[in-house]
Amino acid sequence: AQSVTQLDSQVPVFEEAPVELRCNYSSSVSVYLFWYVQYPNQGLQLLLKYLSGSTLVKGINGFEAEFNKSQTSFHLRKPSVHISDTAEYFCAVSLSSASKIIFGSGTRLSIRP
């Protein structure tokens, strides 16, 4: 069965600093990978997704992620964060041939001015 591990429950950074949110997955077959963002008291919305092809994926709001098959990782990065990026971020995995989407435990990103 697939699983997702988000290594950091909270990440505090200063405004305009770079940030990396880490995600590792386990699966014996090929997968689809996602990053979702949840703003306070809202549902989840998609930031970006990896299905196949280029391992560097660009998403909305200046975020990008890199798929590394050998390290089974899909880390999320942004070169310069803004106060509005304060939110909880979830990594998720779905087997290419299955229908379940499994989420990690989330990383709370807090931006300090």
Partner 1 sequence: NAGVTQTPKFRVLKTGQSMTLLCAQDMNHEYMYWYRQDPGMGLRLIHYSVGEGTTAKGEVPDGYNVSRLKKQNFLLGLESAAPSQTSVYFCASRQGARIMNTEAFFGQGTRLTVV
Q: Is 13 or 102 the residue whose CB approaches partner 1 more closely?
A: 102
Sites of contact with partner 1 (CB under 8 A): 6, 9, 32, 34, 36, 42-46, 49, 51, 90, 92, 94-106
Closest distance to partner 1 from the beta carbon of 109 (Å): 15
Q: Is 3 or 80 the residue whose CB approaches partner 1 more closely?
A: 3
SS3 of the chain: CCEEECCCCEEEEECCCCEEECCEEECCCCEEEEEEEECCCCCEEEEEEECCCCCEEECHHHCEEEEECCCCEEEEEECCCCHHHCEEEEEEEEECCCCCEEECCCEEEEEEC
Closest distance to partner 1 from the beta carbon of 113 (Å): 25
Q: Is 55 or 80 the residue whose CB approaches partner 1 more closely?
A: 55
Closest distance to partner 1 from the beta carbon of 44 (Å): 4
